[in-house]
Structure 1
């Protein structure tokens, strides 16, 4: 099947994200794990990515447990530490794909406040044709609405677009909507996948 475009996740595809790094030197591993569990951080992060404001999130946790609220405020303040650098090999691959004439669009679950902090860490994000951000749109992956929004906004044909994400549920959702889709495990594996699809990138 012909490939005209890639729809790329950002976190842990173009830029590394490690939530624990925000607490480095402040909390022990056990304390960080306690925060993650008691704050239900996975669900809280999903809500932030879907548009919940950070002030509201801090207030909500503080009402439940002042320590949790303080730790979320610390996490927010030290958020740049959670972005330690670009994903190895991806900037070169994106540049190569652009040179081949493919369109490149980002589709990320990220809060509206925090996602711009990723660009200085992984400047390749700024070279994309555009980025659809869940926290801006108020809906995130794997909801079909955000895939349709990206397709409409950037005139993407799902059957000619490869969706790349490190989350299998998101990949499954994209495939169900007719996208070509692959779970990201590293730049070299993505190169192999692209070669198998007939895209003449340099072999790893």
Structure 2
């Protein structure tokens, strides 16, 4: 059945999110490995994504690990350098859907403060018909509550939603609710899925 709305994850779908790559470049692989082994940085980021204060959460973590204080603070101070580059073909697909009149939503694990930093850098993040940002919602994927909140807000039946995300656990949680899903492993596969769903023509999906 043809979807009535398309839902994009953001990290690793529209913008690459590979913090390890940033730290490998800035502090070196050995130092990065030691820091990530000692500090649950992704757990720290989950706290931000659940709505905790962006700067406070990261700076308090940095103070807890003084041997890595400067590097951990980079997660806040240089955040935009961690969240790049744009996946341009994916942005093209989002905008092509909107040009077709297809409602396009975001469903993203993203902090309030970090999202506010990202939008001026990536203006397309302000173009969604609805943006479901976990920090504002107080819950992160793959918790079933976040999918329920999307359904309740948009009023579209689960089987009429098409969602893409790069993480299998997030996709599986959406599928369990009856959503149509696509595991993102690159923009061309996503383009092909949108064409197969009848939402874009081959020409419209081409980048």
Name the TM-score, length of structure 2 as normaliser.
0.88
Q: CA deviation at 1:44?
A: 1.9
Q: What residue ranges of structure 1 are gaps of 5+ in the alignment?
A: none
Q: What residue ranges of structure 2 are gaps of 5+ in the alignment?
A: none
* Correspondence for 1:84: 84
- Aligned-pair Cα RMSD in Å: 1.9
Q: CA deviation at 1:148?
A: 1.2
Q: Secondary structure at the match of 2:6?
A: strand
Q: State the alpha-carbon separation in 2 of the partners of residues 26 and 192 from structure 1.
A: 36
Q: CA deviation at 1:177?
A: 0.7
Preserved contact between residue 14 and residue 122 of structure 1 (Cα < 8 Å): no
> Is 1:55 aligned to residue 56 of structure 2?
yes
Q: Secondary structure at the match of 1:162?
A: strand
* Correspondence for 1:74: 74
Residue-by-residue CA offset, 1:138-173 (whole Å, 9 max, x unaligned)? 100001111111222222321111011011100000
Aligned residues: 203
* Structure showing the higher helix proportion among its residues: 2
Q: State the alpha-carbon separation in 2 of the partners of residues 56 and 86 from structure 1.
A: 26
Q: State the alpha-carbon separation in 1 of the partners of residues 100 and 62 from structure 2.
A: 48
Q: State the alpha-carbon separation in 2 of the partners of residues 132 and 69 from structure 1.
A: 32
Moved more, 9-18 or 112-121: 112-121
In the TM superposition, 1:1-204 aligns within 5 A as 1-20=1-20, 22-23=22-23, 26-53=26-53, 54-63=55-64, 65-202=65-202, 204=206
Name the TM-score, length of structure 1 as normaliser.
0.90
Q: CA deviation at 1:137?
A: 1.5
Q: CA deviation at 1:130?
A: 1.9
Q: State the alpha-carbon separation in 2 of the partners of residues 74 and 42 from structure 1.
A: 14
Q: CA deviation at 1:99?
A: 2.2
Moved more, 18-27 or 116-125: 18-27
Q: CA deviation at 1:55?
A: 1.2
